[in-house]
Amino acid sequence: MHTTTAAGAATSRYLDAMRNRGPLSIDWASAPTRHKRYPGAERVRLPWTAAPSPSGLGMLGELLRNLLGVTRIVWSHYLGDGGELLGRPPMLLTGRPAPSGGGLYPIEAYVAARQPHLPAALYHYDPVHHVLERVRGGDHVPALTGLLGGTPSDVVIVLSAVFWRSMFKYGDFAYRLICQETGVLIAQALAVGERLGVTGGAHLRFPDDEVNRLLGLDDTREATMAALTLSLPEASLSEASLPDPEPPTPEQLIAQPAASENRPLPRAMPSGCLAATLHRACTLVPQRAASPDRPQPPTRTTRTLPAPEPAPLPHLTAGIARRASPIAGYRPVPIPGGALGAVLAAAGAGYPSDLPGTDEGPAATALYVLSLRVDGLPRAAYWYDPANHTLHVPTAEAPIDAVTTGRLLPNTRVALRGAAAVLIPAGDPLAGAPPFGDRWYRMQQMEAGLIAQRAALAATALGLAARIHSDGANETTDAVLGLAGSPLRSLSFLVMGTPPTGGPLVTRPIPGPVDEEVMPAPTTA
């Protein structure tokens, strides 16, 4: 058991430093590779989609591809601070299905599964080649589920973070981005899983050191952030072998030889830096206690009105293929009120996790929205009540237009010129410290990322565009929302609007193979 200072102390120091952080100083020469590999490992090639037959391996392949796979080709032009073309040659980039801070993709996925055509082992997902790499043999499902609360599962997906992949650019601020990106991927996984008929939930609380040890992670370069336990439909498991009557213990699994990852290894988090201190504090397991109350906005409101009736919404996964992060802003035209209503309903819905209360809605965050160009909804800042689908206008210390006077990056200012609405998860970063310790920071940031991603998927499923601008969560935004002087603060900043009809960003999906042959067993070829 680790020792620590007062609950929330590391969070407080981190928040104070991030509030006063200076400009970025980036050493691009220290940038690590953006994906990890186990070059000598045996590999299992995954199907590109679950069709035509809903096999367990096909579902797993589609789930992983829609989390981290390289699925898109993006043509992007260089822009000035005002969104103008600079006339330089465009860049051809490979894109992934979910957004990542700076396009750095620090999250990796490790998989253990019990299903046909996949020998029992711990695997790493290689997104570039869409294969599973065998890290270590043995049935890891019982050991992992035991560490995650004991929920019986067919598949366990562990999401880890390679810290330096973001920290080389963003420094200590990278930890916040990594936590929110983990939440983004949880939202993505739950949405894809629901469409495939896969049930399960997210795990944000677990003994970090034990999970990292089982996966072979050293916690300074790469560490576990969250996990998903999933149960596949019965039809996909009809050929599955029975589990061992006495599954191996973690010690027996760790004793097995493991594959080596590619070199050079990424740098470790600098010892003693704020991100390292906060991360270590987040891994401590405090005495369990009652969960904090669901965050409630300040009671000062000027009026209440019904939120727009939600428009019919396709499944959230319809937004995955259409999702793109606009870099030149939005067309300055209103969006239908029903579209915003659908986005709010998706953002405020419950989700399965081990954070208490999430089955009824977000448990660690409150939802705010800026209505800038929404048909039938006055231009104002609102608190959204998911339980009653109502909007409340807070008594704010700044008018809504003041949000543009905060410390914003040029691309955020460009986005706000034509944006129709902004969704802002907010919460008290210290409210959960008594029961959860500093881990509350990590869980709350993950929920903020989950909410933002569900809202973004709903928006793009309806033909809109959306992008997270982390710099929009600042003290000026808090004043506009009526949060000044309260313990709540803005956590994220999702800008939404009508995409431009043309512009400097073109995204095309990478098609799957026409005739696909899937290897039923590992191979080193």
When computed from its CA atoms, the radius of gyration of the chain, rounded to whole angstroms, is 22
pLDDT at 422: 98
pLDDT at 34: 87
Render pLDDT for 388-420 as a digit per residue (tens, 0 to 9).
999 999 988 899 999 999 999 998 999 999 999
Nearest to 353 by CA among 455, 231, 204, 230: 204
pLDDT at 307: 97
Render pLDDT for 164-176 as a digit per residue (tens, 0 to 9).
999 999 999 999 9
Per the CB < 8 A criterion, the answer to whether 204 and 446 are in contact is: yes
Residue with tokens 């999906």: 509
From residue 420, give the alpha-carbon distance in Å to each of 82, 333, 454.
19, 7, 17
| The token pair that represents 280 in the structure block | 């270590």
Paired with 222 in beta bridges are: 162
pTM for the full model?
Answer: 0.93
Give the number of other Cβ atoms within 10 Å of residue 252's Cβ.
11
Helices 9-19, 439-461: axis angle to 10 degrees equals 50
pLDDT at 427: 96
pLDDT at 388: 95
pLDDT at 291: 74
pLDDT at 151: 85
**Contacting residues for 207 by C-beta, under 8 A, at least 6 apart:** 147, 285
Question: 32-285 and 301-507 share one CATH topology?
Answer: yes
Q: Is 203 exposed, middle or buried (0-12, 13-18, 19+ CB in 10 A)?
A: buried
Which whole number is the average pLDDT over 273-291?
A: 83
CATH of domain 301-507: 3.40.109.10
What is the C-alpha separation between 521 and 120, in angstroms, rounded?
11
Q: What are the sequence ranges of the domains in the chain?
A: 32-285, 301-507
Q: What is the DSSP string of 168-205?
A: HHHGGGHHHHHHHHHHHHHHHHHHHHHHHT-EEEEE--
Task: Please provide the average confidence, as pLDDT, over all residues in the chain.
Answer: 89
Q: Does the pLDDT value for residue 124 go beyond 90? A: yes
What is the C-alpha separation between 53 and 378, in angstroms, rounded?
49
pLDDT band at 524, cuts 50/70/90? very low
pLDDT band at 189, cuts 50/70/90? very high
Nearest to 491 by CA among 183, 106, 162: 183
pLDDT band at 3, cuts 50/70/90? very low
pLDDT band at 73, cuts 50/70/90? confident
Q: Is 507 exposed, middle or buried (0-12, 13-18, 19+ CB in 10 A)?
A: middle
Which whole number is the average pLDDT over 433-449?
A: 95
CATH of domain 32-285: 3.40.109.10
Which whole number is the average pLDDT over 206-223?
A: 96
**Which of 72-81, 90-99, 121-130, 505-514 shows the lowest mean pLDDT across its residues?**
505-514
Q: Does the pLDDT value for residue 473 go beyond 60? A: yes
pLDDT at 157: 98
If residue 466 lies in a helix (H) or strand (E), which one and from where to where?
Answer: strand 465-468
pLDDT at 365: 97
What is the C-alpha separation between 471 and 406, in angstroms, rounded?
9
**Contacting residues for 2 by C-beta, under 8 A, at least 6 apart:** 280, 283, 284
Which whole number is the average pLDDT over 222-244?
A: 78
Q: Does the pLDDT value for residue 376 go beyond 80? A: yes
| The token pair that represents 74 in the structure block | 């993006």
pLDDT band at 520, cuts 50/70/90? very low
pLDDT band at 504, cuts 50/70/90? low
Which whole number is the average pLDDT over 420-447?
A: 96
pLDDT at 72: 80
Nearest to 49 by CA among 18, 77, 71, 24: 71
Q: What is the DSSP string of 35-79?
A: S---TTS-EEEPPSSSTTTT-HHHHHHHHHHHHH---EEEEE--B
pLDDT at 83: 62
**Which of 133-147, 372-386, 505-519 shows the lowest mean pLDDT across its residues?**
505-519
pLDDT band at 84, cuts 50/70/90? low
pLDDT at 271: 87
Paired with 121 in beta bridges are: 137
Question: b/e map of 66-92 (b: 16 or more CB within 10 Å)?
Answer: bbbbbbbebebbebeeebeeeeeeeee
